[in-house]
Chain A
């Protein structure tokens, strides 16, 4: 029942995010013909350039990446502090379940939704490419999906953590966005480029190598787990 509730509370957001992201990607796929015409790409050149286009416009595009991360942050808000703000915490906390069992469905549903969202660009591209007479290699697509899922989960974990710390309906997502922008800015500084802070690069480059950067992804996954652990600790100890 609690899982259904978490789904219920996020499903509208989820559908909207899915449609927005899917529509964005579909639009970019269909735009390819116009793009080629503008650059005078025909025949073989047109076919060969397609993966690069996709990588540039979707998987590697900071615009689409940011959009995806923002959507994930949107999914990650909510939780007990949010409930306190909208005054339903008293009901949820009176249920005869241990407090940790209230978090698990929220995290579980959120991670599943993040994974599905990460798959949407892949599915859209693979499904729609034939309609513009092109094909996109599935192997590339899935490694992108994996990288995006992991990075997305980290974004979700961040949103979940800030919802566990900051009260009020709107503070938490704003803080999450600021932190993500800060990380992105910091990772662009030359001096720190060596460290695996560049989430953007990870999200962009996977497909090119066609081999997932497992090391870096593990670090990000660990960071996500750490954030979940801190968040649940905070919520567990809090007075409502």
Chain B
């Protein structure tokens, strides 16, 4: 697990990269940037750190950051302006979307709290989520 704090034009972004999860790092970066855009942490027109800078800061290969940025550009979430950098081009999040995200977060918090009160550890809960998301068709029948 690697945490890195990065300040972009006044906004503070927290990246959490898991090198051992079953997910390429560039995907993790993409998701976290998307999440920041959807919850309004990153706003339209914000400038993301340069590829080299972010790679150096996070301690990952610049190819990884480059791929994340490039994929986000294809998805329309970023605009890579030659010479200036990567700008967020998010449609202004509709209230309902932001509302939905906040509600989803609330639901997850209460589910996690419920599981914890049943005696599941954080690690176990995380594993359950990850396994389900990674492999939705695997059945978990235990004898």
Is A in direct contact with B (CB under 8 Å) within the complex?
no
Residues of chain A touching chain B, judged by Cβ–Cβ distance below 8 Å, are none
